[in-house]
Amino acid sequence: MSTTAPTTLTAMDPTRKTSFAALITATLIAISGTLIAISPASSASAEKSDLVWFIDRTYREVIDIKGDGDNTGDITVTNGIISEVRGGEPVGTYSTSQITAFVAIPGGRQNRQTTLAMKVGKNTIYTMALVSANAGTPPRKKITHAIIGGTGKYSGVRGEVVLRPLTDTLYRVSFYFVD
């Protein structure tokens, strides 16, 4: 039975230190590949979404709370139809309420706290996001919303919704549910 004390890295000779470091590095690389492979497929970066809808805005109104033009506190309300395919028959409706939280310069870039509700039949999905866009114009880049709840068959759902603008009023909506 050996009674030698455990060796620390500081007590190792340089050759053993290098070999030990290489072994640790190789192990970490192997583990990281496994961790990446088992990460949830439902993240918004995954290529296949769990559900796709198209929303087309039919109404938009800005409520100027202070009466001083585009400014913080203003409310934007939108609504429209949901279809399962682009240009398809409506299967539901959606509504947003957006509160302007930050205005860089009047008429310029602003942040809006946005709540989106999408209703199909008796089922509703609720989402929230902080949307950055120029005043008076629809977003030009994709927007990721957090799913904050739902009703009916969407009760208890979690995950993300990615809205991709196709036109000034039409968006492709991709859902990525988390178990």
- pLDDT at residue 9, rounded to an integer: 40
**11/8: higher pLDDT:** 11
**22/175: higher pLDDT:** 175
**pLDDT bracket for residue 143 (50, 70, 90):** very high
Give the mean pLDDT of 77-85: 98
> Among the listed ranges 51-55, 135-139, 141-145, 156-160, which one has the minimum average pLDDT value?
135-139
Domain chopping of the chain, boundaries: 10-39, 51-177
Give the mean pLDDT of 38-58: 71
Give the mean pLDDT of 102-114: 88
pTM for this model (two decimals): 0.72
Q: Which CATH architecture is the domain 51-177 placed in?
A: Beta Barrel (2.40)
- pLDDT at residue 71, rounded to an integer: 87
Give the mean pLDDT of 134-153: 92
Computed over every residue of the chain, the mean pLDDT equals 81
Tell me the three-class secondary structure of the chain, residue by residue. Answer: CCCCCCCCHHHCCHHHHHHHHHHHHHHHHHHHHHHHHCCCCCCCCCCCCCEEEEEEEEEEEEECCCCCCCCCCCEEEEEEEEECCCCCCEEEEEEEEEEEEEECCCCCEEEEEEEEEEEECCEEEEEEEEEEEECCCCCCCCEEEEEEEEEHHHCCCCEEEEEEECCCCEEEEEEEECC
Give the mean pLDDT of 36-63: 72
